[in-house]
């Protein structure tokens, strides 16, 4: 193994350690992508020096940061953010995306609550209408209170 090969192996080992918590297939995919990236960067450069390789690795960045990026879903890729706009063409079931599932369930729950809330409101409204009608049937509208008026003015005087 040459010095540069050691550098690459060392870097990938650091990524592998940092990504220990990832699903094995995701970790392998990440390592494969980085390995390919490094191989192509080296193949495309006429500079085969250790300095160039160090620059390539520096640009790839901190192994911990790369592993963290693989661990946290970014942006709107998990479908819910997208499906929220009700576009059937782009509302994905997001195959195998674990993060999408709890969010989707939460959204489902919200709908149930909204539905229950509207139903309760409807029932309340109906009750109010019925009560108004019954009240009318029993005693009729309250008589226009003319009698108390003189009393009021009297008390003012």
Distance, CA of 67 to CA of 3 (rounded, Å): 25
CB atoms near residue 38 (< 10 Å): 19
Q: Which of 3, 20, 24, 43 touches another protein (CB under 8 A)? A: 43
Site membership for another protein, residue 29 (CB under 8 A): yes
79 contacts another protein (rule: CB under 8 A): yes
Q: How far is the CB of 62 from another protein (least distance, A)?
A: 8
Nearer CB in complex with another protein: 9/119: 9
Binding status of residue 16 toward another protein by CB under 8 A = no
Structure tokens given for 13: 């080992």
The span from the CA of 17 to the CA of 149, in Å, is 89
CA–CA separation, 50 and 101 (whole Å): 45
By CB under 8 A, is residue 12 in contact with another protein? no
Query: Contacting another protein (CB under 8 A), which of 8, 53, 66, 103?
Result: 66
């Amino acid at each position: 193994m040459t010095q540069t090969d050691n550098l690459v192996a060392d870097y990938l080992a650091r990524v592998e350690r940092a990504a220990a918590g990832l699903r094995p297939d995701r970790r392998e995919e990440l390592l494969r992508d980085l390995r390919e990236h490094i191989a192509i960067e080296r193949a495309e450069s006429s500079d085969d020096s250790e300095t160039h390789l160090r620059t390539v690795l520096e640009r790839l960045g901190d192994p911990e940061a790369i592993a963290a990026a693989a661990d946290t879903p970014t942006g709107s890729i998990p479908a819910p953010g997208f499906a929220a706009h009700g576009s059937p063409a782009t509302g994905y079931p997001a195959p195998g995306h674990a993060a999408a599932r709890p969010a989707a369930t939460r959204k489902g729950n919200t709908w149930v609550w909204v539905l229950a809330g509207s139903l309760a409101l409807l029932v309340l409204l109906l009750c109010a209408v019925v009560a108004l009608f019954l009240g009318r049937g029993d005693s009729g509208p309250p008589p226009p209170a003319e009698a108390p008026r003189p009393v009021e003015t009297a008390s003012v005087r």
